[in-house]
Amino acid sequence: MKRILINRELCQGCRNCQLACMAEHTEAKSVLMLDLEDPANQARNFVEADLDGRPVPLLCRHCDDPACATACMSGALRKNPDTGLVEHDRVKCAGCWMCVMSCPYGLIRPDQLAGRTAVKCDFCVTRPMPRCVEACPTGAITLIELESKGRLTKAGLPGQSLAREVEM
Ligand code: SF4
Ligand code: SF4
């Protein structure tokens, strides 16, 4: 199972990961052509400052017991048993925002263009690697492989420490 590992000590707060996420969800998929004022361009990941002003990358954890899916009454959110990813079906989404209120990390949000469906990380499933991972210049977010719940088999970068953020 693939997961994203966060090492916040390496984050420089450049927001390349956010821009990459926004670009990946546009037709052109280009950061250079990204219109930051267009509400249709919406990131699924965020970089916020902690109480000391240090940047913290925030990405969906594809939780083992996802509160967003438990709260969803329309069946739009489900944990895929094969990939372990928490998937969102926009067609089934009723836009009730129960998931938005339930996610403890604030990582599923209303669609800021139409405000009708929720928007969350889709792990860039059509790509070999999530675009945010590819875009991070410091290795603060990397792709890892887990053999089973919580067990790391292969880190994305040599010497990378297991951050507390790994929660599977
Ligand atoms: S949106 Fe929130 S609750 Fe749902 S899987 Fe992601 S981190 Fe977990
Ligand atoms: S791209 Fe990497 S270094 Fe830049 S804000 Fe995102 S996680 Fe931090």
| 113-129 residue pLDDT tens | 989 999 999 999 999 99
- Coil, strand or helix: which one is 1? coil
109 forms beta bridges with 119
pLDDT tens for each residue of 131-147: 999 999 999 999 999 87
93 lines ligand 1 (CB under 6 A): no
Asked if residue 34 lies in contact with residue 22, where contact means CB atoms within 8 angstroms, the answer is yes
Would you say residue 167 has pLDDT above 70?
no
Residue 68 in domain: yes
Distance CA 60, CA 157 (A): 20
Closest ligand to residue 44's CA: 1
Mutation test residue for ligand 2: of 8, 15, 48, the one with most atoms within 8 Å of CB: 15
- Both 127 and 116 in one domain: the answer is no
Examine residue 20 and state whether it is found in any structural domain, yes or no.
yes
The answer, yes or no, to whether any atom of ligand 2 lies below 6 A from the CB of 136, is: yes
Q: How much is the pTM?
A: 0.85
Average pLDDT, the chain: 89
Q: Are 53 and 130 found together in one domain?
A: yes
**Structural domain range at position 17:** 1-60+122-154
Tell me what pLDDT residue 149 has.
Answer: 59
Is the same domain home to 71 and 56? no
Q: Does ligand 1 lie within 6 Å of residue 140's CB atom?
A: no
| DSSP secondary structure, 87-137, as one string | EE-TTT-----HHHHH-TT--EEE-TTTSSSEEE--TTTTSSS-HHHHH-S
pLDDT at 15 (0 to 100): 97
Count: domains in the chain: 2
Confidence at residue 147, expressed as pLDDT on a 0 to 100 scale: 74
Q: Is residue 156 pLDDT above 60, yes or no? A: no
Query: Where residue 5 falls among pLDDT bands split at 50, 70, 90?
Result: very high
Span 49-65, mean pLDDT?
96
Count CA within 13 A, CB hemisphere, residue 37.
Answer: 0
Kindly report the CATH number assigned to the domain that includes residue 105. Answer: 3.30.70.20
Query: Is 163 domain-assigned?
Result: no
Per the CB < 8 A criterion, the answer to whether 116 and 135 are in contact is no
* Whether the predicted pLDDT of 9 surpasses 50: yes
* Beta carbons within 8 Å of 144's beta carbon, 6+ residues apart: 2, 3, 4, 5, 152, 153, 154, 155, 156, 166
Give a yes or no: residue 162 inside a domain. Answer: no
Q: Kindly state whether residues 15 and 35 are assigned to the same domain.
A: yes
Indicate whether 116 and 126 sit together in one domain: no
* Same domain, residue pair 17 and 28: yes
Average pLDDT of 150-156?
Answer: 51
* CA-derived radius of gyration, the chain: 16
- Ligand 2, residues 31, 141, 143, 165: which to mutate, most atoms within 8 A of Cβ? 141
- Residue 74 within a domain: yes
Residue 151: its pLDDT value, please? Answer: 57
